Amino acid sequence: MAAFEYRDEQLFVEGLALDELARRFGTPAYVYSRAAIEAQWRAFDEGLGSISHLVCYAVKANSNLAVLNLLARLGSGFDIVSGGELERVLCAGGDPGKIVFSGVGKSEQELCRALEVGILCFNIESEAELERLNHLAGEMSCRAPVSLRVNPDVDPKTHPYIATGLKEHKFGIAMEDAVDLYRRAHDMSHITVQGIDCHIGSQLTELEPFAEATRKVLELADELLASGLELTHLNLGGGLGIRFRDENPATPAVYTGLLCELVRERPFKLLIEPGRAIVGNAGLLLSRVEYIKHSGSKHFAVVDAAMNDLMRPALYQAWHDIVPVHKCTDIDSETYNVVGPVCESGDVLGAERELRVTAGDLLAVHSAGAYGFSMSSSYNSRPRAVELMVDGNEVYVVRERERVEQLHAGEFLLPD
Ligand code: LLP
């Protein structure tokens, strides 16, 4: 069963009609398919089956507790970038021993908490961070397991905002500085060197950049091993793209096949950090048309979801497919800009879409399972959308719609 498919001109998620979900839970609503999430995670896990490995789901893509819990039940590891994500993984039943901690700006508090719970590895992004971690681990009388995140200077050929592996980016340690820093790390009293880490960007639709980065990491690994350093794992990051429109990214099977081929025969455990490719096409944003508006030659479908709910089109000019929940043939087709109620001209979920819609109709914005809700805000004091998880013929509210009182919580007036 496909996660999202039309039956009798009606869009379904697994066994449930979206129309019914909108009636019961209102709109805007994020709707996820449990089967799709699990199938994608398994595709990565099985793809690496022939070598020692751990799939560390990148929590930032979708950090809903239910999503994390489903993956924890499958035995997933997690890639986190903040203390907040750490607490989410723990709260969802994730194993701290399978957590890797990435990010350029880890605070003392975040490092201490991660040491306290005993995570698998810190992905270190600078010399200063390494020194801070060594010092904190010393104070806590423990050793911190680390990988150095190297910057392989590879062009991932993706949107500039989500490319990370070029020299000019803030991420990682320059390849030419890596060997020296590994020696320093090795000599530090409270650091245990575990591996090499690298992540070059997100929404990669070609495999060659992954291969190039992996080859560079393997070269470095050889050099380190030759100099007597021990390494347990290689972490090749995340970044595999998904199809939004007409992109043709490799499947997880083909991508993991390539990694296995490159790393095979080496004595390393392989870690990867996919986010988008696990949840991206396992979720959509369900929205209702409030008004149809014609202005000069322009036609607008004003919907009840907005850039605060799904920021990607406004931030990255990202294209998300927008489809009617009921395929209707008795309305004329028109070219619409699908826009939200937020007071910004950039609040466009989709420009120039050919649609047959009228006020009150439901639209589904596809490929919204990753970096959708997790990047949402309450801008314009709009409560955040409800999140629903469909499992066969059942639906579960995995985050209730935010209430206006919650938006005011923690704010105070000055005294008279
Ligand atoms: N590992 C690290 C260190 C990362 O920085 C990221 C994503 C990932 C793994 C997961 O990458 P993925 O497999 O999801 O591509 N908000 C942007 C994407 C930002 C990605 C940031 N880092 C978007 O909506 O396209």
- Which CATH number characterizes residue 379's domain? 2.40.37.10
Measure 202 CA to ligand 1 centroid, in angstroms: 5
Cβ–ligand 1 contact at 61 (below 6 Å): yes
C-alpha separations of 56 from 199, 261, 285, 355 in Å: 13, 20, 25, 39
Q: Could you give the 3-state DSSP secondary structure of residue 157?
A: coil
Q: Which domain holds residue 315?
A: 4-32+280-407
Report whether residue 273 contacts ligand 1, using a CB cutoff of 6 Å. Answer: yes
Residues 300 and 382 in one domain: yes
> What is the 199 CA–ligand 1 centroid distance (Å)?
9
Q: Per the domain annotation, does 413 fall within a domain?
A: no
Residue by residue, pLDDT tens for the chain (416 residues) are 579 999 999 999 999 999 999 999 999 999 999 999 999 999 999 999 999 999 999 999 999 999 999 999 999 999 999 999 999 999 999 999 999 999 999 999 999 999 999 999 999 999 999 999 999 999 999 999 999 999 998 988 777 776 776 677 788 899 999 999 999 999 999 999 999 999 999 999 999 999 999 999 999 999 999 999 999 999 999 999 999 999 999 999 999 999 999 998 899 999 999 999 999 999 999 999 999 999 999 999 999 999 999 999 999 999 999 999 999 888 999 999 999 999 999 999 999 999 999 999 999 999 999 999 999 999 999 999 999 999 999 999 999 999 999 999 999 999 99
Q: Rounded CA gap, 198 and 13, in Å?
A: 36
Residue 31's identity, in one-letter code, is V
**Crossing angle of helices 65-74/83-91, nearest 10°?**
60
Same domain, 224 and 101: yes
Residues 84 and 184 in one domain: yes
Same domain assignment for residues 101 and 186:
yes
- Ligand 1 within 6 A of CB of 320: no
Q: Does residue 188 share a domain with residue 286?
A: no
Residue 343 falls in the annotated catalytic set: yes
Cβ(290)–Cβ(342) below 8 Å = no
| DSSP assignment of 227-241 | TT----EEE----B-
- Do 187 and 250 reside in the same domain of the chain? yes
- Verify that 114 and 161 share a domain, yes or no: yes
What does the longest C-alpha to C-alpha distance in the chain come to? 74
User: Are 318 and 233 within one domain?
Assistant: no
Q: Nearest C-alpha to atom 16 of ligand 1 is from which residue?
A: 371
